[in-house]
Amino acid sequence: MAIVTGRTNGDTGGGDTAGTPAPADTGIPASAGAGRGPARAVSEPGRIRQPVALIRLLTGLIAIALTLLLADYARATTGGIAADVAEAAELVPRPLAGLAGGLTTAAVLLVPVVLAARRLLGPDRRRALQQVSDGLLAAVLAYGATLLLDLWADGVAPVSLLAALTQALPGGALGHTEPVYGYLAPVLAFMTASGNREHRAPWAVLALSGLAGLAGGYATPTALLLGLLIGWTGAHGTLYAVGTPDPLPRPGEVLRALRESGLHPAEAHPAGPDRYLVRQADDRPDLDVQLLDRQAVTAAAVQRAWRRLRLRTAPHPRALRSPRAGLEHEALVTYAALAAGVRTRRIAATAGLGQDTALIAYEHLPGRTLDRLPDEEITDDLLADAWRQLARLQRRETAHRALVPSSLLVDATGAVHLVDFADGDIAASELVLRCDIAQLLTTLALRAGAARSVHTAVTVLGADTVEAALPLLQPIALARTTRHALKHTARPTAAARTGGPADPGPDEAAAGGGGGGLLEEIRAEVLRTRPQAEVRPVRLERLRPRTLLAVVGGVVAGWLLIPQLFAAEDNPIAAVADADPAWLALALLAAALSHVTAAMGFVGFVPERLDFRNAVLAQLAGAFVKLVSPGGVGGIALNTRLLQRAGIPTAQALSSVGVGQLIGLVLHLLQLGAFVYLLDLQPGGSELDALPAVVGGLAGAAALLAVVSAVPPARRWLAARLRPLTTEVLPRLLDLLRSPARLAVGLTGQLLVSICLIGCLYCCTRAIGREPSFASVAVVFLVGNAAGNVAPTPGGAGAVDGALIALLQQTASMEKGGALAAVATYRLLTLILPVLPGWAAMTWLQRRRAL
Tens-place pLDDT, residues 589-625:
999 999 999 889 888 888 778 888 888 888 888 887 7
- Predicted local distance difference test score (pLDDT) of residue 204: 80
Compute the CA torsion angle 261, 264, 270, 272 (nearest 10 deg).
-50
Q: Which amino acid is at 720?
A: A
| pLDDT band per the 50, 70, 90 thresholds, residue 759 | very high
Compute the CA torsion angle 671, 675, 677, 682 (nearest 10 deg).
170
Q: 3-7, 68-72, 565-569, 652-656 — which is least confidently predicted?
A: 3-7
- Predicted local distance difference test score (pLDDT) of residue 175: 73
Strands 47-48 and 357-363: unpaired
> Is 657 a residue whose pLDDT tops 90?
no
Angle, helix 380-395 to helix 430-448, in steps of 10 degrees = 170
Distances in Å between the Cα of 464 and the Cα atoms of 1, 150, 389 are 31, 71, 18
Q: What is the mean pLDDT of residues 825-829?
A: 85
Alpha-carbon distance of 554 to 577, in angstroms, equals: 24
| pLDDT band per the 50, 70, 90 thresholds, residue 822 | confident
> Is 564 a residue whose pLDDT tops 70?
no
| pLDDT band per the 50, 70, 90 thresholds, residue 756 | very high
DSSP string, 297-345: HHHTHHHHHHHHHHBTTPPP--TT--HHHHHHHHHHHHHHHHHTT---P
| pLDDT band per the 50, 70, 90 thresholds, residue 391 | very high
In 3D space, the residue among 812, 430, 445, 759 whose CA is nearest the CA of residue 590 turns out to be: 759
User: What's the number of CA atoms in the CB half-sphere (13 Å) around residue 244?
Assistant: 24
Task: Answer yes or no: are the C-beta atoms of 363 and 10 closer than 8 Å.
Answer: no
Coil/strand/helix, residue 353: strand
Give 171's DSSP letter: G
Alpha-carbon distance of 307 to 303, in angstroms, equals: 6
Task: Answer yes or no: are the C-beta atoms of 207 and 228 closer than 8 Å.
Answer: no
Compute the CA torsion angle 131, 275, 348, 417 (nearest 10 deg).
150
Task: Answer yes or no: are the C-beta atoms of 434 and 465 closer than 8 Å.
Answer: no
| pLDDT band per the 50, 70, 90 thresholds, residue 646 | confident
Query: For residues 213 and 179, which has the higher predicted lDDT (pLDDT)?
Result: 179
In 3D space, the residue among 60, 73, 62 whose CA is nearest the CA of residue 164 turns out to be: 73
Q: Please list the residues that pair with 265 across neighbouring strands.
A: 280
Q: 171-175, 575-579, 790-794 — which is least confidently predicted?
A: 790-794
**With pLDDT > 70 as the criterion, what percentage of the chain qualifies?**
68
pTM above 0.85, yes or no: no
Query: For residues 112 and 46, which has the higher predicted lDDT (pLDDT)?
Result: 112
Query: For residues 552 and 458, which has the higher predicted lDDT (pLDDT)?
Result: 458
Q: What is the mean pLDDT of residues 639-659?
A: 78
Query: For residues 405 and 572, which has the higher predicted lDDT (pLDDT)?
Result: 405
- Predicted local distance difference test score (pLDDT) of residue 763: 92
> Is 634 a residue whose pLDDT tops 80?
no
Q: What is the pLDDT of residues 413-464, one digit of tens each?
A: 999 999 988 888 888 888 889 889 999 999 999 999 999 999 999 999 998 8
- Predicted local distance difference test score (pLDDT) of residue 733: 62
Q: What is the mean pLDDT of residues 284-310?
A: 67
- Predicted local distance difference test score (pLDDT) of residue 74: 66
H/E stretch holding 362 reads strand 357-363
What's the chain's length in residues?
Answer: 851
| pLDDT band per the 50, 70, 90 thresholds, residue 305 | low
- Predicted local distance difference test score (pLDDT) of residue 551: 58
- Predicted local distance difference test score (pLDDT) of residue 685: 45
Q: What is the pLDDT of residues 23-70, one digit of tens each?
A: 334 333 333 333 333 333 333 446 777 777 888 888 899 999 888 887
Q: 259-268, 524-533, 535-544 — which is least confidently predicted?
A: 535-544
- Predicted local distance difference test score (pLDDT) of residue 496: 43
- Predicted local distance difference test score (pLDDT) of residue 649: 77
Query: For residues 170 and 836, which has the higher predicted lDDT (pLDDT)?
Result: 836
Q: 8-22, 87-101, 223-237, 359-373 — which is least confidently predicted?
A: 8-22
Q: What is the mean pLDDT of residues 10-27?
A: 37
> Is 482 a residue whose pLDDT tops 70?
yes
Max mean pLDDT among 8-22, 85-99, 395-409, 532-546 falls in 395-409
- Predicted local distance difference test score (pLDDT) of residue 381: 94
Q: What is the pLDDT of residues 492-522, one digit of tens each?
A: 444 444 444 333 333 333 333 334 488 888 9
| pLDDT band per the 50, 70, 90 thresholds, residue 78 | low
Q: Is 135 exposed, middle or buried (0-12, 13-18, 19+ CB in 10 A)?
A: buried
Alpha-carbon distance of 371 to 447, in angstroms, equals: 8
> Is 346 a residue whose pLDDT tops 70?
yes
Task: Answer yes or no: are the C-beta atoms of 276 and 251 closer than 8 Å.
Answer: yes
| pLDDT band per the 50, 70, 90 thresholds, residue 390 | very high
- Predicted local distance difference test score (pLDDT) of residue 26: 38
Q: 10-14, 484-488, 796-800 — which is least confidently predicted?
A: 10-14
Average per-residue pLDDT in the chain?
Answer: 75
Backbone Cα Rg of the chain = 35
> Is 791 a residue whose pLDDT tops 70?
no
> Is 695 a residue whose pLDDT tops 70?
no
Compute the CA torsion angle 734, 737, 739, 741 (nearest 10 deg).
140
- Predicted local distance difference test score (pLDDT) of residue 384: 95
Give me the helices (H) in 396-544, please: 430-448, 450-461, 463-469, 480-488, 494-498, 506-509, 518-529
